Structure 1
């Protein structure tokens, strides 16, 4: 079987071509060589392997069981070689062409749009089509090359790369806390004004966990519900009540003091499942250079931990 290692890639390609077409003559016509030359090379393969690969008939050539088995592995080898060749070719090139990106509205405004000028300066042959929406986009039907998604990741037929963890804070303005008092436990939120995000699945639930204890949900009430996170954040800045939002949205307000973290000893979330910020792309063996370059750019830009979680607040 050592002779198997001596089979050339060219011979493997001819073998797979015969397997696909079931004809020496058709492969010979496509390759511009004689049928006898194709037949001779297949015979040399069979001699090297000690296995008959084809049954020869007057009108067709059919694979034996050994031929089908070799064909399965030969196709994988040739596909991997083609992929390697494409990757090497792209390595010598610059990312170029249009890349279609879909992202949530607020996250796109705060953490994608501010970096686009640098991205385009780094890759001047790249053009970006950025669509921002909080509506559900089916990743299997969407035409986008890259989707930024936030939440609990599931198996959607997409591949992805985690960009950052989704962390939450409960917060209110100093004006509101001076007027209404500072809640010391989640139970005391029943006496406070809570500003609730209401998405496609209904009003947001608030979960709390003290170190060493289980997550618990608490009843909420307040003067405002809405489906726009920035509007609710502005209401909190204006002293209307408390909000519970991810740090990527309110970190700057927490740092400059216009919002203050409430119940800092508690972990807070709107879900009992781990949430992530991720870049998703259609499944497949080969990731295009432009998509890989954009993902790598944002991975480096966000950092680990993400820049919005650095510094404390």
Structure 2
């Protein structure tokens, strides 16, 4: 069974005649008739009752019609999704991105995209809060976390694994916790923008994840400040792995419980619900996605 025969069948029904479908598809009446007949032969059922005045769907035809419409719609959407990629990208994009990814790669990636497309301007704010896209007039938001708003469309890029880490000097002075529960006896540096709460650290268990409630002398909503506090030997931090990737390689921070941390959050491009987002937004999403995938090992 050929997809184009299904599409042609749906056009015949939609237009109500073989001749109109033939005209719209730049085919002859006989070709349209033969292709619908071929579809019937392949399925082993009659799809249409043909009279000189009108076409009527059989029960089998009614059953097939919705699927045929879906094929037609999917085909059109596939074409629409790439239309305009060869055109010049211009206009303005207002976007919001999280601070860690903004510092790590998005500032450079978005500036590079603007440089490659001189007719485009982008206003990019760094904010860990999930902004209201509609009220704030945002065209695109990059977010890490759980998404629940069904009025938004989300494109998943990759997952961000969190870790528990501390400097060698902190471990030398205070010891290395060997279980998550041992963290309650340590000074835990807290990141105030955790979705589960700054003092609620998530770990794996055989029957699902569980929370260890920690405490400490320092809490911040700034990831860079948290990283510096950990590098200074002032406590243990629970952070996204990408934030301290180079510190781990250099040995200035140690991954303490590498197999036990249960927190892993998706990174998404989010935009308002629409049949097709503007070409400029689609192109920027693809550019950002490629940059994330280039450093996927950081996450």
In the superposition, the TM-score normalised over structure 2's length comes to 0.71
Change (3 A) 1:283 1:174: same
Taking the aligned partners of 1:89 and 1:207, their CA distance within structure 2 comes to 44
- The one-character-per-residue Cα deviations of 1:75-125 (angstroms, maximum 9, x if unpaired) are x9x999997897676244122211111112232122201223432333232
Aligned to 2:61: none
Taking the aligned partners of 1:217 and 1:236, their CA distance within structure 2 comes to 21
- 1:191 maps onto 2:185 in alignment: yes
Residue pair 2:85, 2:283 contacting (<8 A) in 1 also: no
Larger Rg: 1
Aligned-residue offset at 1:277? 0.6
- 1:230 maps onto 2:220 in alignment: no
- The one-character-per-residue Cα deviations of 1:119-161 (angstroms, maximum 9, x if unpaired) are 2333232221111222341233231111001101223411111
Aligned with 1:247 (options 241, 265, 274) = 241
Runs of 4+ in 1 over 4 A off after TM superposition: 8-11, 78-89
Change (3 A) 1:307 1:121: farther
Q: Secondary structure at the match of 2:135?
A: coil
Aligned to 1:104: 98
- 1:158 maps onto 2:158 in alignment: no
Listed as ranges, the gaps of 5+ residues in structure 1 are 12-46, 52-75
Aligned-residue offset at 1:294? 0.7
Taking the aligned partners of 2:82 and 2:254, their CA distance within structure 1 comes to 51
Change (3 A) 1:113 1:307: farther
Listed as ranges, the gaps of 5+ residues in structure 2 are 1-11, 25-51, 57-69
Aligned with 1:132 (options 116, 122, 126) = 126
- 1:4 maps onto 2:21 in alignment: no
Taking the aligned partners of 1:84 and 1:5, their CA distance within structure 2 comes to 26
Aligned-residue offset at 1:182? 0.9
Aligned to 1:58: none
Taking the aligned partners of 1:209 and 1:200, their CA distance within structure 2 comes to 17
Q: Secondary structure at the match of 1:300?
A: helix
Matches within 5 A, 1:203-222: 203-210=198-205, 212-222=206-216
Aligned to 2:4: none
Q: CA RMSD in A?
A: 3.4
Change (3 A) 1:233 1:9: farther
Aligned to 1:284: 274
Residue pair 1:153, 1:275 contacting (<8 A) in 2 also: no
Aligned with 1:302 (options 264, 284, 292) = 292
- The one-character-per-residue Cα deviations of 1:212-252 (angstroms, maximum 9, x if unpaired) are 45322223121112222221111111111000011122212
Taking the aligned partners of 2:179 and 2:136, their CA distance within structure 1 comes to 44
Change (3 A) 1:204 1:122: farther
